[in-house]
Amino acid sequence: MYKSIVIAVALFNKGATSRTLIEKANKLIDQGGSITLVHVLDEVPTYLSAAVAREQLMAHRKAIREQLEALASRVKAKNVDIDIRGGRPSENILASARDCNADLIMITSHKPGMSDYFIGSTAARVVRHSEISVLVTR
């Protein structure tokens, strides 16, 4: 079905929603296809960056990579990549999809609240601006 899938990984709830996305992706990926797990780190505001030790940031990034590697072990695709980025989540998810020539983006969404109607959630922005198919799950 799909040659290249990007899964936007959120690591809240111990990765349960991401494991669900991986199970779905395993059913949708072509034999010989690739899956990229992308996680976007929030940028540390400049007024806090001086107060946070570089070692602490590196340790956090290492912990994120270890969690992504554990999730990657569940992927049945022949090629699995891990992509850790920093910045605005929707922009970086879309950029990751472009960089690996994905033909599907998979992302989870929460139940919308009032703020989503005005500024939109990450999933809504990805759907609105994506040039490829997006599968949104809850």
Over the stretch 77-108, which tens digit does the pLDDT of each residue have?
889 999 999 999 999 999 999 999 999 999 99
Question: Contact at 8 Å (CB) between 127 and 105?
Answer: no
Spatial contact of 33 and 62, defined as CB atoms under 8 Å apart? no
The string of pLDDT tens digits covering residues 113-130 is 655 554 458 999 999 999
Question: What confidence tier does 58 reach under pLDDT thresholds 50, 70, 90?
Answer: confident
Look at residue 17 in the predicted model and tell me its pLDDT: 84
Question: Which whole number is the average pLDDT over 24-28?
Answer: 96
Calculate what percentage of the chain has a pLDDT beyond 70: 89
**Domains within the chain, CATH numbers bracketed:** 2-137 (3.40.50.620)
- pLDDT the model gives residue 119: 47
Q: What pLDDT shows up at residue 21? A: 94
Q: What is the Cα–Cα distance from 28 to 98, expressed in whole angstroms? A: 19
pTM of the model: 0.88
Averaged pLDDT score across all residues of the chain: 88
DSSP for residue 131? S
SS3 18: helix
